[in-house]
Amino acid sequence: MALVYLGLGTNLGEKERNLNDAIISLSQEVGFIIRSSTFYASKPWGFESDNDFLNAVVLVDTILTPFDVLSKTQEIEKSLGRTAKSINGYSDRLIDIDILLYDNLIIDQPTLKIPHPLIAERDFVIIPLSEIAPDLVHPVSGRKIVELLNR
């Protein structure tokens, strides 16, 4: 079993429903949801939009490999209405699921980077992550999540 932290985001449609549907799908397809953060409202990051985001972080206990988690999360995104990942920058989306951390693994492949390289730069990730795992140690920086939050 492995512990995986996933970041969720949506800025289109019924946002609370989108996050709840994603959490239900994750529990059915990826593993047992141990913890879920509060839903956080945030402004778009990296692009302009009139649509604010709703974000959350969940902790999942899984038997899947990191690449299997990636595949399942992409399938869930599609099943919930996501048409395509942004290639040239960011855009509005019904749902986005990012792998933030997977145990203490460090993976640097073209299709998968763990830990997610922008965890500490995104308040919409670091705030909900620190809510559910303040003492978790980032495997690259060696700092606790709460320390990254208070940067």
Alpha helices in 38-144 (DSSP H): 66-79, 123-132
- Count CB atoms within 10 A of the CB of residue 40: 17
97 within 8 A of 67, measured Cβ to Cβ: no
Whole-Å CA distances, 81 to 17, 19, 76, 101, 113: 13, 12, 9, 25, 24
Active site residue ranges: 82, 93, 96, 98
Angle at 11 between CA 73 and CA 61, to 5 degrees: 30
Q: Among 51, 31, 50, 53, which Cα is nearest to 128's?
A: 53
Give the E-state strand segments of 78-137 in sequence order: 96-102, 107-109, 112-114
Q: With beta carbons less than 8 A apart as the criterion, state whether 39 and 55 touch.
A: yes
